[in-house]
A and B are shown apart, each in its own frame.
Chain A
Amino acid sequence: MVSGRNKFLVGGLFILAAVVYLIISSTKASVEYFKTVDELLAQRETVMGKSIRLSGAVVGDTITYNPDSLTLSFEVAHIPGKNEEIDAAGGLAAVLHEAVSDPLRSRILISYSGIKPDLLQNEAQAIMTGHLGDDGIFYADELLLKCPTKYEQGVPEQVSGN
């Protein structure tokens, strides 16, 4: 028989082990890899089928949407993944603008089925969760959009001198 104190120690360790197991198995089952468009294209083979979170700049004139079948596709252009790089390049709005205007920038086609989000516009930042298919198309299950021009603390536009 285990003594009183040890009994509790064993019990506590058991719970700790259970929590650790839950964390490890859940992490394995649901981890998503952040990728930029360049990284995704370069690591095509290794990331195929894995759950990926991809960020890119929406190229406005590639958006096609069929409201009857609710199929949506568009291209995103590469933008840097690191905040420091974005800041160094003049902020998110500038980075997005540059990415979309540069014809040499690598792009990838996104396929999404669902309703077209309000914010899906040219030069919006799209953050998509999904996987890369054999056909080189990124199939997104989830689509988030950010428009940097709005709600960024700016300098007043209309000013009356005092």
Chain B
Amino acid sequence: MIVEFGYGILILTFILSLYASGAAIFGAVKKNDKVIETARRAQLLTFPLLAIATTSLVYLLISNHFEVNYVYSVTDIAMPLYLKITALWGGQPGSLLFWAFLLSIFTSAVTLRKWDRDRDILPWVIVVTSVTLGFFLALIIFFENPFTRWWQTETGDFVAQMFAPTGAILANPMDGQGLNPLLRHPGMIIHPPLLYLGFVSFVIPFAFAIATLITGRTDDRWIRLTRGWTLLAWLFLSLGLVLGMRWAYDVLGWGGYWGWDPVEIAALMPWLTGTPFLHSVMIEEKRGLLKIWNLFLIILTYSLVIFGTFLTRSGVLSSVHAFAQSAIGPMFFAFIGLTFIISTALVITRWKDFHSDMPMKSMLSREALFLLNNLLFMGILIVCLWGVLFPLISELVTGVKVTVGPPFYERAVAPLLAALMALMGIAPLSVWGRSTLKTLGKAAWKPVIPTLVISILLFSFGMRNWIGLIGFTLIAFVIMISLFEFAKGTKARVISMKENIVQAITHLVTHNRRRYGGYIIHIAMVVMAIGILGIEVFQTTAQKSLSIGDTIEISGYTVQFDSLAQFPNSDGRLITRAEMSIFKGDQFLGIVHPRFDVYPSGQPMTIAGVRSTLADDLYIVLANWEDVSSSKAPFKIYHNPLINWLWIGSLIFIIGYLVAAWPAKERSSN
């Protein structure tokens, strides 16, 4: 019953989204406000309808309806409730439905706003969002239906279909296959939804950009209207990425947080265009420059969002060659290609209308430095695209199957990231329109002195790794410049407004939230870079088979293997858990418990025991679970210096975001 109901709702929503896009085009062309209003209402309805459809699927998931193929494939009886709910995005059909549901929330919110000043672009915003929603609904209904059920035919075979084949009876499996153990983690509650929210929010600025192009506007109103959405998308995407790193660090048991696999890159790419977009729209707002570029960036971001959605949940984890195996792969590529071509064609036809209000003159002006920031981000994007596409190109052109791994990305991206950090330091010192080396030098010398002191200290304390030295110097540079900017503004207020320091800082920030929130985000980024540099450059490992009582040395620590225990968990897992004491010299520091779990399906999962401090993590992996009886077990230990700063930086990032995006009370800062 629920199954047919949910599926029916999906079809109804699909028809409504088709109607909304058709009626909006018709209404806009014929200038018929009544028809546009019906399109708007149709679009508003998609939200409650998809909420019902999603709830139906969640109900099936939590009530063990294993006759439904999707429920069967991602849940089992023993899974805790929260995991059964998160199984909504544990497989492709459910993920697509969840995506469509999130999009319907955002599009409804957008269509509910006051449109008085922007009546002309409303229908086109509806068209773009409804077409996107319609595409996802079509995929769900025709290719990846989460409501298909198992049927046993007369010949005894099992088939998964929406409706009963002739003579078949409903098959009712006793238990499901369960969620992949790697996904059974509290991170599952928050990481995929955040990434998806980030992806989906970018659809809104894209829709406004296209509407602007079609209606013949040339102003930056679309940017101002959607700034909140862009910032929100960027926040969600950034946090989604960081949480993914944390999850990988906690669960995958290889001592790292980022492995440059195609799925990670797919999630990173929209961020690589969204971040420069956030910067370059400021140039358009302040200087009337880079209008075409901004349109192009948001179009590219939208394409990468759709691409990322496809790649992150299609199960093509290990190989880019597997695209074609998914039935919906060609559909995705067709949709991405089509929307990209139409959007780019729109930009080209209106190219002449978007001339810059004033030319860019100085190579060191703030707008030029922002442009440089954009180019560096594009550079990183090209590196990522090359890494994903090069194997395909090589095979097509030369017939040689090749691949590039993490060393390729690290080597190519590191210099670009270093240049970006240098820019993050210099750009706040520049001014709009004109800066010279002299003015920059004058602004920079004060923060440069403490920066150099830090580098010299690092060197004199024995750091000889030049990547580390350059990296930490750049990090110190950005932090110093940002702090000096705060200090300069505060001092000016203390002197001119006679405020005390707390008042001065508060007013400084509240009167220019975007600027000072931006500085806090810059600090957050380089604090994260401390952690990344620490683990990438200074990680050490040791591995050894230990009998009980044996020790292993790593980076000045001594780790002792105390005991090993094996016991079943209530959900059917067999847990093998070691107890390890950590010492530094004679000083006892604590106990950690690396373990591995074997799921009833036989799939093992390794959970590291981690002792975490601000200075470093000791990340201890119990590696082999077959030799438990021999009382000898092999361990692999990673010493990860400074990694905690990666997570701390992400918290500072949230603070910076709140400062930058909090609705201004008194007056708008720009």
**B interface SS class:** mixed
* Inter-chain contact B382/A162, CB cutoff 8 Å: no
**A interface SS class:** mixed
Kindly list chain B residues whose C-beta atoms are within 8 Å of the C-beta of A159: 150, 152, 158, 171-174
Given contacts A32-B405, A115-B636, A160-B172, whether A70 and B543 have CB atoms under 8 Å apart is yes
A34 beta carbon closer than 8 Å to chain B = yes
* Inter-chain contact A32/B403, CB cutoff 8 Å: yes
Kindly list chain A residues whose C-beta atoms are within 8 Å of the C-beta of B545: 67-68, 70
Given contacts A4-B361, A156-B150, whether A33 and B634 have CB atoms under 8 Å apart is no
CA–CA, A157 and B72, complex, Å: 11
Kindly list chain B residues whose C-beta atoms are within 8 Å of the C-beta of A7: 363
For A22, give the chain B residue with the smallest CB separation: B412
* Inter-chain contact A11/B363, CB cutoff 8 Å: yes
* Inter-chain contact A146/B318, CB cutoff 8 Å: yes
For A129, give the chain B residue with the smallest CB separation: B405
Q: Which of B143-171 contact A (CB under 8 A)?
A: 150, 152, 158, 169-171
Minimum C-beta distance from B634 to chain A (A): 5
Kindly list chain B residues whose C-beta atoms are within 8 Å of the C-beta of A19: 379, 382-383, 416
CA–CA, A84 and B409, complex, Å: 29
Q: Which of A116-161 contact B (CB under 8 A)?
A: 116-119, 127, 129, 144, 146, 150-151, 153-161
For A115, give the chain B residue with the smallest CB separation: B623
For A34, give the chain B residue with the smallest CB separation: B401
Minimum C-beta distance from B551 to chain A (A): 15
B486 beta carbon closer than 8 Å to chain A = no
Interface residue tally for chain A (C-beta within 8 Å): 50
Kindly list chain B residues whose C-beta atoms are within 8 Å of the C-beta of A67: 545, 624, 627, 632, 634
Interface residue tally for chain B (C-beta within 8 Å): 65
B321 beta carbon closer than 8 Å to chain A = yes
* Inter-chain contact A150/B601, CB cutoff 8 Å: yes
Kindly list chain A residues whose C-beta atoms are within 8 Å of the C-beta of B321: 83
* Inter-chain contact B624/A115, CB cutoff 8 Å: yes
* Inter-chain contact A15/B379, CB cutoff 8 Å: yes
* Inter-chain contact A118/B604, CB cutoff 8 Å: yes
A1 beta carbon closer than 8 Å to chain B = no
CA–CA, A161 and B172, complex, Å: 6
CA–CA, A26 and B409, complex, Å: 8
Given contacts A8-B363, A70-B634, A116-B624, whether A27 and B543 have CB atoms under 8 Å apart is no
* Inter-chain contact B375/A15, CB cutoff 8 Å: yes
Minimum C-beta distance from A22 to chain B (A): 4
Kindly list chain B residues whose C-beta atoms are within 8 Å of the C-beta of A150: 601-603
* Inter-chain contact B401/A81, CB cutoff 8 Å: yes
A31 beta carbon closer than 8 Å to chain B = yes
Kindly identify which residue among A8, A35, A87, A151 contacts B360, using a CB–CB cutoff of 8 Å.
A8
For B322, give the chain A residue with the smallest CB separation: A83
Q: Which of B351-402 contact A (CB under 8 A)?
A: 359-361, 363, 368, 371-372, 375-376, 379, 382-383, 386, 390, 400-402
Chain A residues within CB distance 8 Å of chain B:
4-5, 7-8, 11-12, 15, 18-19, 22-23, 25-27, 29-35, 53, 67-68, 70, 81, 83, 87, 114-119, 127, 129, 144, 146, 150-151, 153-162
7 pairs of A and B residues whose beta carbons are closest in the complex = A34-B401, A156-B173, A115-B623, A26-B412, A30-B407, A19-B379, A26-B411
- Some 22 contacts from A to B, beta carbons below 8 A apart, are A8-B371, A19-B383, A23-B382, A25-B411, A26-B383, A26-B409, A30-B408, A31-B403, A32-B404, A34-B403, A67-B624, A67-B634, A70-B545, A83-B325, A115-B636, A116-B623, A119-B604, A153-B73, A160-B172, A162-B67, A162-B169, A162-B170
